[in-house]
Amino acid sequence: MPEQIVIADTSCLIALSKLKLLDALKTLYSNTSITPTISKEFNEPLPKWVKIQEPKNKNYQRILENILDKGEASAIALALDYDDVLLILDDLKGRKEAQKIGFKITGTLGILHKCKQSGIIYKIKPSIEKLKKSGFRISQKVEEVLLNANDEF
């Protein structure tokens, strides 16, 4: 069975970088890819283990760019190139579009949850607080569910 590909969008890279947890992606998933568009949006040096790949279906990417930002559109278009893929998307419109196609998705908060479950971090609440202070939007309901799921409420 081929290895699962993980495709991260810009918002996840930015958030994990702010939390000094970008390397957690390598620990959690051995095969992380992004597109050149996402790399440009991130605008920071990337670890060598992050693969930068151009989506094959540029036409579909252009269609998606009519409803999504360029990074999300390129991530979804790249996901079409693989059989087993996990998309890391935070934007609700992007998540809905990816779900319509049938992709498995998670977001930055899902990655933080997995970091806690894997022992990469010991508490999730400080990371949530830091993200909120940096402008990352988290609904109170989602925050409560996440804190409850991690026995931190």
Residue-wise pLDDT for 110-142, tens only, equals: 999 999 999 999 999 999 999 999 999 999 999
In this structure, what DSSP letter does residue 2 have? P
Q: Which helix (H) or strand (E) holds 132?
A: helix 125-133
Here the tokens at position 41 are 């949006």
The pLDDT value recorded for residue 60 is: 93
pLDDT, mean of residues 95-103: 95
- Residues 6 or more apart whose CB falls under 8 angstroms from that of 71 comprise 9, 10, 35, 37, 38, 41
Q: Any residues with CB less than 8 A from the CB of 98 and at least 6 apart, and which?
A: 76, 79, 87, 89, 105
pLDDT value at position 1? 44
- Please determine, for residue 2, whether its predicted confidence score (pLDDT) is greater than 70: no
Kindly state the average pLDDT of the residues 93-120.
95
Question: Average pLDDT for residues 96-114, to the nearest whole number?
Answer: 95
The per-residue pLDDT for range 36-75, each reduced to its tens digit, is: 999 999 999 999 999 999 999 999 999 999 999 999 999 9
| Region label for 20, one of left (φ > 0), alpha (ψ between -120 and 50) or beta (otherwise) | left
Residues 10-25: pLDDT tens digits?
Answer: 999 999 999 999 999 9
Domains along the sequence of the chain with CATH? 5-108 (3.40.50.1010), 110-149 (no CATH)
Stronger pLDDT, 18 or 30, i.e. the higher one:
18
The full DSSP string for 92-126 is: HHHHHHHHHHT-EEE-HHHHHHHHHHTTS-S-SHH
Number of residues written out for the chain? 153
